[in-house]
A and B are shown apart, each in its own frame.
Chain A
Amino acid sequence: MIKSFRKLTSMSLILVMMSAAYSHVQAADFPSKRVTMICPWAAGGGTDTFLRGLARNTEPFLGQTITINNKTGGSGAIGHAAGVRARSDGYTVTMVTFDILTLPPQGFVPFTYKDYDLLMRVNMDPAAITVPIDAPYNTIEEFVAYAKANPGKIKVGHAGPGTAWHLAGSIFAEKVGIDLAYVPYNGAAPAVTALAGKHIQAVSVSPAEVRGQVEGGTVKILAVMSDERVSGFSEVPTMKEEGYDVSFGTWRGLAVPNSTPDDAKKILHDAFKKGMETDAFKRFAADSGLGVSYMSAEDWEKDLSTSAVSVANTMKNLGLVR
């Protein structure tokens, strides 16, 4: 009995060593098995849609299948945490979202974006100020004038406390010096519905999220918070054109846990970049109303280091920091 137990132990030891040696070989011809991608948001949402489209178009360049694991809950905290904790062999890629900037100041997670090695940013959707079609203002300037004359009277709907769209309204109000009231909804869609029903005076969500109502003629976009005009909404001016230095939006990007081998990171980056640049993916993203916007890991890291500070400051003003 004991003898056979010993035999078993030594056998398994050899097996472990063999597999360790094997995995060392693996690093050279990465990826040699399927890649898992963590989506911190539920199936069917914007992040999930973008990720599934990107994964499908990247598989041929990666030479492996990609499976998507929706680890949801905790306002994205659970998925982002799972991504940080994942094995740093390059086989687990997380789609990190804007929320990785808002979760740490709220004291919800013990990690920041720095616990990830960034691969690239893939998407950016600016915020916009949208109002009912018959509102007494037709430009963002008139909106600001009205808000100054009626402090606190304009109720701005957003997608929930601490979300990008909550901060968007606040950052805008801060910059132009107006006093707005914020109404939290459970996501962007119910906020837009309330706007269409004229129960609130404005929403601070993305242009894509109000597209249906714009085309239906129930609402109008006054200005977008991006540096350039948004394709599909070329008649809408940017805040900067109107004289307000406000640029803000939500974004999504790809990241792996710290200390992932550099060659694996490069292979992943190149494959996903090629997937992003396929016509099929571009068409898919445009149809889904999601903005494709590449940013290299270095530029993205630089961008995050400044925006993390400004996001934390805005959250402090909103009473969201603990």
Chain B
Amino acid sequence: MDIELFIEALFGILQWKPLLMIFAGVAGGILIGSLPGLTATMGVALLVPFTFGLPFNESIGMLLGIFSGSVYGGSISAILINTPGTPAAAATLLDGYPLSQKGEAGRALSMSVFASFVGGFTGALIMTFLSPQISQLALEFSAAEYFGLATFGLSIIISVSGKSILKGIMVGFLGLLISTIGMDPVSGYPRFTFGSMNLFEGPAFIPTLIGLFAFAEVFKGVEQLTTTKQVVSKISSVFPSLSDIKRTWKDMAKSSVMGTFIGSIPGAGSDIAAFVGYSEAKRRSKNPEKFGTGQIEGVAAAESANNACSGGAMIPMLSLGVPGDAVTAILLGAFVIQGIQPGPMLYKEDLDVVYSVFSAMLVANVAMLIVGFLGVRFFARAITVRKSILLPAIFIMSIVGAYSMRNNMFDVWLALGFGVLGYFLQRYRFPVSPILLALILGPMAEANLRRALIIADNSMIDVLSRPITAIFLILGLVTLIMSILRQRKAHD
């Protein structure tokens, strides 16, 4: 680490023009993230062409601003309307929405901003100081290890199942079944598509998410339109209270580090990190049964984990030229067009560029903290809007969101169908999150197991005996057994 060069790069970012671009990017990113159907990937992809003409510091500031802002932005709609704005915020709503229903939307939002900052900044710091060391991890992961990670992730279904593990597992398997719709990952055979090309790639993820959460919420809301009282939301301060920070700092620290590592593994994204962080906070907690009813730790753990992922995903992109997720894949393209080829050579030849990226990432997270706090009061007001106005607004935005993902009307019908499913699941007290986990992790587990088997000449023993894979599988098994035993005990 060349401290002198780093400080020089930092001052290069702290000029008014790059700063302006970072703040604009963060504000735009928060907006994109908070709208279900608009994702960080789309935001960055559509803005990349506009940054070609800009100097490097300004363009990278803007893009990283959007990247950082949108991950936080997703939590706003998760907390306020029970709909994750981005898949990464799916774990945030588990406790965020109950909090806002208790009239503590402000508390949840300010904690979300703060936790996002802690996670994002930690991720950026780890990226700044440990990139070359961590990047090797990305290359260690072969198909077999991804299979292990995905299977371990599926065991988290237990911790997001709420009161009944049995119901959680039932819904989880329903999700796995849905995740088999679409082309077979090896032979390309279309499964359960009924000849419709709209289903070749499975049910599109964002419309499914919008259906299960946003539409289901609207249907539920319509039913209760005349019976429920308006939630009164009082905001005493836009900052999280000291006691909340004291309660959650350990969870945030743990989630931040775990999130960065998960982010640095290509293909494992912020959605997975958030669930892992949430599950770990619940496991560690003295009263895990209260999770899901509005525990501030749940929001803090999920939000710090998913924001930490951004820094993590940048690590293999910069030091190996291997993108960590969809957003960094687009950033990689943007770098190449600017004449910069990420990879090991970048660290040898253009260290100043690397340091500029580090600086921009650190500054973007500070900008997110400022913009986020400024916005808390404004966002929280959304929940005080009369239901007869709020629900139609959510409904229309959800239709637009489902359509805009692929510009396809089929996806709107798909979302409405999943809305009906989500409504009945909630009505009969089934948890909805397990479907989501299964949809994210099912295809990952399946494709990687089959990939691993091809590589190992169809020897299952060879696949399962790889050390990292074995550790993940054992961890998953332990999680499963422990939670079942714990629930038994609680019943006795």
Hey, which bits of chain A sit against chain B, CB under 8 A?
Answer: 42-44, 48-49, 52-53, 56, 69-75, 77-78, 81, 106, 108-109, 152, 155, 160-162, 181-186, 189-190, 192-194, 196-200, 211-213, 215-218, 284, 287-289, 319-320, 322
Contact, CB under 8 Å: B339 / A287: yes
Instruction: Check A212 against B343 for contact (C-beta < 8 Å).
Output: yes
Minimal beta-carbon separation of B67 from chain A (angstroms) = 13
Enumerate chain A residues within 8 angstroms of B204, measured Cβ to Cβ: 73
Q: In the complex, are the beta carbons of B343 and A189 less than 8 A apart? A: no
- A179 CB → nearest B CB, Å: 13
**Interfacial chain B residues near A181, Cβ < 8 Å:** 454
Closest CB in chain A relative to B131 CB, distance in Å: 14
B341 near A212 with CB under 8 A, answer yes
- Distance in angstroms between the alpha carbons of A180 and B139 in the assembled complex: 23
In the complex, chain A residues whose CB is within 8 Å of the CB of B454: 155, 181-183
Smallest Cβ-Cβ distance to A161: which chain B residue: B188
Give the 5 A-B residue pairs with the shortest CB-CB distance, closest first. Answer: A212-B321, A161-B188, A44-B45, A199-B142, A197-B139
Given contacts A161-B187, A190-B267, A196-B139, contact A74 B321 (CB under 8 A): no
The CA-CA distance from A10 to B375 in the complex, in Å, is 54
Docked-complex contact B406 and A73, CB < 8 angstroms: yes
Contact of A183 among B45, B188, B451 (CB under 8 A): B451
Known contacts A44-B333, A288-B337, A189 near B455 by CB under 8 Å: no
Expressed in whole angstroms, the Cα–Cα distance for A213 and B317 within the complex equals 11
- Chain B interface residue count, CB cutoff 8 Å, equals 56
> Is the Cβ of A75 less than 8 Å from the Cβ of B183?
yes
Q: Which of B122-130, B152-160, B195-203, B357-365 contacts A (4 or more CB under 8 A)?
A: B195-203
List 11 extra interface pairs beyond A78-B198, A197-B141, A322-B189, CB under 8 A.
A44-B44, A71-B407, A73-B200, A73-B201, A74-B199, A74-B200, A77-B197, A152-B457, A193-B266, A213-B321, A216-B344
17 A-B pairs (CB sep. < 8 Å): A74-B198, A81-B197, A108-B190, A155-B454, A155-B455, A161-B183, A161-B186, A184-B185, A185-B451, A186-B267, A198-B139, A200-B455, A213-B321, A216-B343, A216-B344, A287-B337, A320-B187
Residues of A within 8 A of B333 (CB): 44, 49, 288
Q: How far is the CA of A56 from the CA of B184 in the complex (A)?
A: 37
How far, in whole Å, are A200 and B41 apart by their CA atoms in the complex? 29
* A213 in complex: contacting residue of B46, B329, B343, CB < 8 Å: B343
Question: Using Cβ atoms and an 8 Å threshold, which residues of chain A touch B199?
Answer: 74
Residues in chain B near residue A48, CB distance under 8 A: 45
Q: In the complex, what distance in Å separates the CA atom of A215 from the CA atom of B342? A: 10
When distances are taken between beta carbons in the complex, the residues of chain A under 8 Å from B322 are 189, 192-193, 196, 212
Chain B residue numbers with a CB within 8 Å of A185 are: 451
How far does the alpha carbon of A42 sit from the alpha carbon of B44 in the complex, in Å?
A: 12
Which of B41, B42, B188, B330 has the most A CB atoms < 10 Å from its CB? B188
Set of chain B residues within 8 Å of A199, measured between Cβ atoms: 142-143, 455
The answer to whether B408 has its CB under 8 Å from any CB of chain A is yes
Tell me which residues across on chain B come within 8 A of A213, comparing CB atoms: 321, 343
B45 near A193 with CB under 8 A, answer: no
Instruction: Give Cα A113 to B33, complex, Å.
Output: 39
